[in-house]
Amino acid sequence: MKKYAIREDNSLGREYLENKSPLRNDFQRDRDRIIHSSAFRRLMYKTQVFVNHEGDMFRTRLTHSLEVSQISRGMARSLELNEDLSETIALAHDLGHTPFGHAGQDVLNKCMKGHGGFEHNYQSLRVVDKLEKRYVNFNGLNLTFESREGILKHCSKKNATLLGKVGERFLNKTHPSLEAQIVDIADSIAYNIHDLEDGYRSGILSISKLKQLDFFVENYNYLKNHLDFNEVNEKVSVHETLRRMMFILINDVTENSKKLISESNIETISDVRSHITTLINFSEPVQNFLNDCRIFLRINLYEHPRVSKMTSNAQRIIVDLFNYYDENFEALPSDYKIYEKKFRSIADFLSGMTDRFANEMHKSLK
Ligand code: MG
């Protein structure tokens, strides 16, 4: 591993001191704690874009997290960084997501207006710091500082001031470890490519629609000239193209980051944190391709009537459940009531629900 990678001997450690594991390093141990958590299992029934009942073939937050973890590990290995830490952060990065994808998060944030708001990254940290209850000596999973730092990808200044050391970088504008920066990028690679694939599978994005995206066309044409697309069906040609797009994204960010790191002359983890920019980044042309994907997906998939119908159903469910627990706070499970404020407890409970559970609760209210 490079000198500026995170290792056990330069880690800032855990809040509650624990004996070392004889079998695993600290970051492998963090990963195992995440995999054994109940929030992790619930990712299986949380939406990425398509609601669970729309089909068994679409991504869920669980399969998304596994994809992010594989991409992150490959990049960390190639850059000689701490693969275990990147894997850990990736598996935990979406633990705080509400049911019903971004629609759920946006509406819960609206419900929480005036009560501190709702941010899913902050909630992911809250899950591993407080809400998981499996140990006698502490609440949460008592993860290392570096895992927690990576999980808190974004944070408002207001919340950052409440978090102590792990919130400091949002106030003094420094950066997290390279292992965390990798996960941030791997997340965007994973969801852009898999949302194109799920969009195609759902029938919302046809191949002629996909061909409106330059990045797609360029790679489709390249493969058409190099493989015999006449011999394969359309579906395989789309998958081959998306696969190649993913390869280009991962390869570009890895090679470009190697260059950025070597030009930066960083030597230690504190050099990484205080460097003027992040060091895990795409080259400019490929960054532009990714931005195009994002815009394309927003216009053609996320705002498509079939997806927005699901979005408005989801919003109604969250609002109704929020109002119900506001008026009937005694009905909230006691595990969730022990924290600081009523509305925060409601948000903790609602955001932990799976799509399926939220749907069933909603039906039972009527
Ligand atoms: Mg994600």
Confidence band for 59, pLDDT divided at 50, 70 and 90: confident
User: Between helices 61-78 and 83-92, what is the axis angle to 10°?
Assistant: 160
What DSSP letter does each residue of 224-247 carry, written as one string?
HHHS-GGGS-HHHHHHHHHHHHHH
Q: What is the Å distance from ligand 1's center to 64 Cα?
A: 7
Q: What is the Å distance from ligand 1's center to 60 Cα?
A: 10
Average pLDDT, the chain: 93
Q: What is the Å distance from ligand 1's center to 227 Cα?
A: 32
Other C-beta atoms closer than 10 Å to the C-beta of 207 total 14
Confidence band for 225, pLDDT divided at 50, 70 and 90: confident
Q: Read off the pLDDT of each residue in 347-366 and give the average, rounded to a whole number.
A: 93
**Range ranked top by mean pLDDT from 55-69, 275-289, 336-350:** 275-289
pLDDT tens-digit readout, 136-153: 999 999 999 999 999 999
pLDDT tens-digit readout, 85-120: 999 999 999 999 999 888 899 999 999 999 999 999
- Please give the pLDDT value at position 52: 59
- Please give the pLDDT value at position 57: 73
Q: What is the Å distance from ligand 1's center to 220 Cα?
A: 26
Q: What is the Å distance from ligand 1's center to 150 Cα?
A: 13
- Please give the pLDDT value at position 326: 95
pLDDT tens-digit readout, 291-343: 999 999 999 998 898 888 888 888 999 999 999 999 999 999 988 876 668 99
- Please give the pLDDT value at position 339: 65
What's the gap between Cα 350 and its chain centre? 19
**Quick check: 56 pLDDT over 80?**
no
On whether the CB atoms of residues 223 and 229 are closer than 8 A, the answer is yes
**Quick check: 55 pLDDT over 90?**
no
Q: What is the Å distance from ligand 1's center to 62 Cα?
A: 10
Q: Read off the pLDDT of each residue in 125-135 and give the average, rounded to a whole number.
A: 93
Counting Cα atoms < 13 Å in the Cβ hemisphere of 234 gives 10
Q: What is the Å distance from ligand 1's center to 93 Cα?
A: 6
- Please give the pLDDT value at position 215: 97
Q: What is the Å distance from ligand 1's center to 187 Cα?
A: 5
**Quick check: 54 pLDDT over 70?**
no
Other C-beta atoms closer than 10 Å to the C-beta of 153 total 19
Q: What is the Å distance from ligand 1's center to 155 Cα?
A: 15
Q: What is the Å distance from ligand 1's center to 365 Cα?
A: 31
**Quick check: 229 pLDDT over 70?**
yes
* Whole-structure pTM value: 0.95
Q: What is the Å distance from ligand 1's center to 189 Cα?
A: 10
Label residues 231-240 b or e (16+ Cβ within 10 Å = b): eeeeeebbeb
Amino acid at 266: I
Q: What is the Å distance from ligand 1's center to 43 Cα?
A: 11
Confidence band for 283, pLDDT divided at 50, 70 and 90: very high
- Domains delineated in the chain: 14-202+234-365 (1.10.3210.10)
Q: What is the Å distance from ligand 1's center to 33 Cα?
A: 19
Q: Read off the pLDDT of each residue in 342-365 and give the average, rounded to a whole number.
A: 94
**Quick check: 228 pLDDT over 80?**
no
Tokens coding 164: 């102590």
Q: What is the Å distance from ligand 1's center to 65 Cα?
A: 6
Q: What is the Å distance from ligand 1's center to 329 Cα?
A: 31
Q: What is the Å distance from ligand 1's center to 265 Cα?
A: 31
- Please give the pLDDT value at position 103: 87
pLDDT tens-digit readout, 232-277: 789 999 999 999 999 999 999 999 999 999 999 999 999 999 999 9
What DSSP letter does each residue of 23-48 carry, written as one string?
SS-HHHHHHHHHHTSHHHHHGGGSBS
Of 129, 123, 141, 156, nearest to 37 (Cα)? Answer: 141
What DSSP letter does each residue of 59-118 carry, written as one string?
-BHHHHHHHHHHHHHHHHHHTTS-HHHHHHHHHHTTTTPPTTHHHHHHHHHHHTTTTT--
